[in-house]
């Protein structure tokens, strides 16, 4: 590998979190993809952790929002500012050279959306920007030998999208991407609590419920949690207790959508590769794959064993790091620059 003066950065540009990977250092940044904007002055006040603290708590003239929706850029200007902030923070202000940046995009991304990512990165200070599809990076990060002739199925469940792909010989054989993942589950939990208990809860609380007591299948020994919110009838604060099996009911529809995406890809897979997948099982990556008993649900619905990859939330970011190390080899195989 030729030594390059230019620093390299891998960015996992997620709907809820941005991870920045520097080869040799590992993951140097792990912050929420939230930007706080002052409406009056139309200027960006805070990015990442600082901005996330403001979500749902800001006075009227400050809006904290996520520039990425369902894994793609919803607000171009803000995404660019966010990328600039992260690139600068990862490299330090003394860096004179523009970095080569590799960014992950969902499997179902259109060429326009892909161009938007490349443009935003170049404007934010990248010398070269490469976009690679998330399932490929997730597979590399999970340690799957993607260049083999054997088939591997990877399911990357993030905040905004669930990407399902079958990979063989370094390419995607069959894939789909559904806009239903961690965030959709949070909304489903909040809606369920609103319907059954007339209690309004915020996104943060819903996410907490999912992490603390959520499960993909009903359990015998339920976990219970105290949920605090605002009563819709009286307008006053109130708290209720909720158990695991209620949460299972709340997110049934969303989990069905995710499982159906997996079934669709399995149905498109050539028979030889399908046999490999039965042997290797389904590998799950992404933060939302950590939901309790999700592998069990996948097995029950598809008949294929599933397992969660090691360091699942960081697989895509690690994959960008690996791909950057062997940039020239991967350039030919997987990167479509424009």
Q: What is the pLDDT of residue 125?
A: 86
Token reading at 235: 């307008």
The answer, yes or no, to whether residue 331 has pLDDT greater than 70, is no
* One domain, residues 149 and 13: no
Tell me if 175 is assigned to a ligand binding site: no
Q: Give CA separation, 301 vs 15, 54, 89, in Å.
A: 27, 40, 44
* One domain, residues 156 and 291: yes
Q: What is the pLDDT of residue 323?
A: 86
In the block, tokens 């010989």 appear at 169
The answer, yes or no, to whether residue 325 has pLDDT greater than 80, is yes
Tell me if 290 is assigned to a ligand binding site: yes
pLDDT in tens, 44-54: 888 888 888 87
pLDDT in tens, 210-233: 999 999 999 999 999 999 999 999
Tell me if 281 is assigned to a ligand binding site: no
Tell me if 209 is assigned to a ligand binding site: yes
* One domain, residues 159 and 17: no
* One domain, residues 21 and 108: yes
* One domain, residues 170 and 286: yes
Tell me if 125 is assigned to a ligand binding site: no
The domain that holds 115 is classified in CATH as 3.30.420.40
* One domain, residues 254 and 161: yes
* One domain, residues 81 and 210: no
> Domain range for residue 162?
144-308
Cα angle, residue 225 at apex, residues 221 and 227 outer, rounded to 5°:
150
* One domain, residues 217 and 76: no
pLDDT in tens, 269-281: 999 899 999 999 9
In a domain, 225, yes or no: yes
Query: Dihedral of the CA atoms 87, 91, 95, 98 (nearest 10)?
Result: -40
* One domain, residues 68 and 50: yes
pLDDT level of residue 337 (50, 70, 90 thresholds): very low
Tell me if 287 is assigned to a ligand binding site: yes
Q: What is the mean pLDDT of residues 286-295?
A: 94
pLDDT level of residue 310 (50, 70, 90 thresholds): very high
Tell me if 197 is assigned to a ligand binding site: no
Which residue in 15, 12, 22, 33 sits closest to 133, CA to CA?
12
Contact 181, 285 (CB under 8 A): no
The answer, yes or no, to whether residue 93 has pLDDT greater than 80, is no
Tell me if 254 is assigned to a ligand binding site: no
Tally of domains in the chain: 2
Q: What is the pLDDT of residue 338?
A: 37
In a domain, 64, yes or no: yes
pLDDT level of residue 56 (50, 70, 90 thresholds): low
How large a percentage of the chain has pLDDT more than 70?
Answer: 93
* One domain, residues 75 and 109: yes
Which residue in 176, 163, 134, 136 sits closest to 152, CA to CA?
136
In a domain, 53, yes or no: yes
In a domain, 2, yes or no: no
Q: What is the pLDDT of residue 192?
A: 96
Choose between 37 and 247: higher pLDDT: 247
Tell me if 288 is assigned to a ligand binding site: yes
Q: What is the pLDDT of residue 33?
A: 85
In whole angstroms, give the CA distance from residue 12 to residue 315: 9
Burial class (CB in 10 A: 0-12, 13-18, 19+), 72: buried
In whole angstroms, give the CA distance from residue 197 to residue 62: 31
* One domain, residues 165 and 281: yes
Q: What is the pLDDT of residue 58?
A: 65
Tell me if 324 is assigned to a ligand binding site: no
In a domain, 3, yes or no: no
Tell me if 289 is assigned to a ligand binding site: yes
Q: What is the mean pLDDT of residues 140-162?
A: 91
Q: What is the mean pLDDT of residues 116-138?
A: 88
* One domain, residues 133 and 40: yes
Does the global pTM surpass 0.75? yes
């Amino acid at each position: 590998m030729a030594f390059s003066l230019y620093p390299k950065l891998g960015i996992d540009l997620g709907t809820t979190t941005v991870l920045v990977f520097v080869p040799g250092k590992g993951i140097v940044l792990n912050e929420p993809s939230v930007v706080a904007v002052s409406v009056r002055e139309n200027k960006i006040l805070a990015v990442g952790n600082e901005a996330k603290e403001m979500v749902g708590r800001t006075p009227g003239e400050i809006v904290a929002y996520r520039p990425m929706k369902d894994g793609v850029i919803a607000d171009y200007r803000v995404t660019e500012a966010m990328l600039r902030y992260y690139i600068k923070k990862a490299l330090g202000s003394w860096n004179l050279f523009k970095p080569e940046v590799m960014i992950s995009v969902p499997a179902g991304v259109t060429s326009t959306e892909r161009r938007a990512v490349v443009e935003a990165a170049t404007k934010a200070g990248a010398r070269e920007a490469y976009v690679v599809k998330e399932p490929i990076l997730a597979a590399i990060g999970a340690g799957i030998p993607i260049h083999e002739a054997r088939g591997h199925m990877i399911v990357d469940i993030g905040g905004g999208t669930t990407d399902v792909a079958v990979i063989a010989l370094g390419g995607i054989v069959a894939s789909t991407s559904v806009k239903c993942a961690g965030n959709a589950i949070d909304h489903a939990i909040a809606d369920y609590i609103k319907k059954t208990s007339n209690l309004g809860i915020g996104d943060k609380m819903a996410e907490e419920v999912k992490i603390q007591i959520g499960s993909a299948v009903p359990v015998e020994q339920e976990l219970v949690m105290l949920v605090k919110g605002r009563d819709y009838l009286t307008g006053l604060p109130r708290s209720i207790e909720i158990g695991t099996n209620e949460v299972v009911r709340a997110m049934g529809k969303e989990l069905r959508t995710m499982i159906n995406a997996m079934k669709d890809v399995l149905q498109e897979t050539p028979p030889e590769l399908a046999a490999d997948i039965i042997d290797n099982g389904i590998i799950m990556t992404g933060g939302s794959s950590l939901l309790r008993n999700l592998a069990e649900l996948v097995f029950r619905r598809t008949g294929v064993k599933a397992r969660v990859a090691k360091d699942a939330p960081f697989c895509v970011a690690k994959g960008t790091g690996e791909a950057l190390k062997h940039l020239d080899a991967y350039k030919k195989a997987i990167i479509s620059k424009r």
